[in-house]
Amino acid sequence: MNSKADQTISEEAFCTEDQLFWQIIKAGDPKGLERFYEKYAEELFSFGMNVVSEKELVKDCIQEVFLELWRYRSSLNSIRNFRLYLFKCLRNRIFHESAKIRLIKPIEDVPVHNGQLQVEAEETNLIASQIELEKQEAMADALRKLPDRQKEVIQYLFFESFTYEQTSDIMGINVQSVYTLAWKALNRLKKHYSKGVALFCLFQFF
Amino acid sequence: MDITNYTTEDFLLDSSFREWVLRPNATLNIKWEKLIEENPGKRQQVRLAREMLLHLPQWKHQFQTEEKTLLWKQIHYNLKEEQVEIPVVPIHSKSTLEKRRIRKNDDYTWLRVAIILIIVLGLGYFLMPLPGDETDVEEPAVAFVERVTPPGVKAHITLGDGSKVILNANSKLTFPKPFDQDRREVFLEGEAYFEIAKDSMRVFSVHSGGLETIALGTSFNVEAYTDGFCNVALVSGKVIVQDKVANDKSDNKGTTLSPGEMLKYNSRGFMVKAFDEESVVGWTKKLILFEHTPLPKAVRVLENWYGVKFHFVNQPENKISFKGRFQDETLQNVMKGLSYAAGFSYQIDGDRVYITFNNSQIQR
Among B10, B6, B3, smallest CA distance to B35 is for B3
Q: Are residues B272 and B316 in the same domain?
A: no
Q: B355: helix, coil or strand?
A: strand
B interface test, pick of A45, A94, A101, A156 with most B CB neighbours within 10 Å: A45
| Mean pLDDT, all residues of chain A | 77
Alpha carbon distance B220, A183 (integer Å): 64
pLDDT digits 0-9 by tens, A130-171: 777 778 888 888 888 888 889 899 989 988 889 999 999 999
pLDDT per residue, tens digit, chain B (364 aa), is: 788 888 999 999 998 898 888 888 888 888 998 898 888 888 888 989 998 888 887 777 888 888 898 899 888 888 876 544 344 334 443 433 444 444 444 455 556 656 666 655 555 555 554 444 444 444 455 678 888 888 888 888 888 888 889 898 889 999 888 888 888 889 999 999 998 888 777 888 898 877 888 887 788 888 888 777 888 998 888 888 887 765 554 455 678 888 888 888 877 777 888 888 887 888 888 888 888 888 888 888 888 888 888 988 888 777 788 888 888 888 888 888 888 877 888 988 888 899 888 876 544 4
**CA dihedral sign of residues A42, A43, A48, A51:** positive
Residue B26, min C-alpha distance to chain A (Å): 11
Does the A2-101 domain belong in CATH 3.30.1020.10?
A: no
Q: Do B27 and A71 touch (CB under 8 A)?
A: no
Phi, psi dihedral angles at A75 (to 5 degrees):
-90, -25
Establish if B140 belongs to a structural domain: no
Phi, psi dihedral angles at A124 (to 5 degrees):
-55, -40
First to last CA, chain B: 78
Q: Are residues B180 and B222 in the same domain?
A: yes
**pTM (2 decimals)?**
0.47
Q: What is the DSSP letter of B256?
A: E
Is A35 in contact with A86 (CB distance < 8 Å)? Answer: no
Alpha carbon distance A143, B169 (integer Å): 45
Query: Cα-atom radius of gyration of chain B, to the nearest Å?
Result: 31
Domain ranges of chain A: 2-101, 123-205
Q: Are residues B155 and B270 in the same domain?
A: yes
Q: What is the pLDDT of residue A38?
A: 92
Q: Which residues of A touch B27 (CB under 8 A)?
A: 2
Structurally, chain B folds into a number of domains equal to 4
Residues of B with CB under 8 A from a CB of A: 8-9, 12-13, 15-16, 18-19, 22, 27-28, 31, 48, 51-52, 54-63, 67-68, 71-72, 74-76, 78-79, 82, 93-94, 96-97, 100-101
Burial (CB < 10 A; 0-12, 13-18, 19+), residue B175, is buried
Q: Are residues B352 and B292 in the same domain?
A: yes
Q: Give me the CATH topology for the region A123-205.
A: Butyryl-CoA Dehydrogenase, subunit A; domain 3 (1.20.140)
**CA dihedral sign of residues B314, B317, B322, B326:** negative
Q: What ipTM goes with this model?
A: 0.76
Q: Which residues of B touch A103 (CB under 8 A)?
A: none
Give the pLDDT band of residue A106 (cuts 50, 70, 90): very low
Residue B82, min C-alpha distance to chain A (Å): 8
| A33 in contact with B, Cβ within 8 Å | yes
Q: For A15-32, what is the mean pLDDT?
A: 84
CATH code of the domain containing B324: 3.55.50.30
Q: Do B79 and A70 touch (CB under 8 A)?
A: yes
Q: Are residues B157 and B235 in the same domain?
A: yes
Query: Which residue range is the domain that position B111 belongs to?
Result: 82-126
Q: Do B56 and A60 touch (CB under 8 A)?
A: no
| A140 in contact with B, Cβ within 8 Å | yes
Q: B275: helix, coil or strand?
A: coil
Q: Which residues of A touch B70 (CB under 8 A)?
A: none
Lowest-pLDDT range of A25-34, A193-202, B171-180 = A193-202
Among B245, B195, B197, smallest CA distance to B220 is for B195
pLDDT digits 0-9 by tens, A56-84: 889 989 999 999 899 888 887 778 888 99
Establish if B201 belongs to a structural domain: yes
Give the pLDDT band of residue A85 (cuts 50, 70, 90): very high
Q: Are residues B340 and B254 in the same domain?
A: no
**Kindly report the CA angle at B303 between B276 and B156, in degrees rounded to 5?**
65
Is the pLDDT at A112 greater than 70, yes or no?
no
Q: Which of A37, A122, A187 sits opposite B75 (nearest CB)?
A: A37
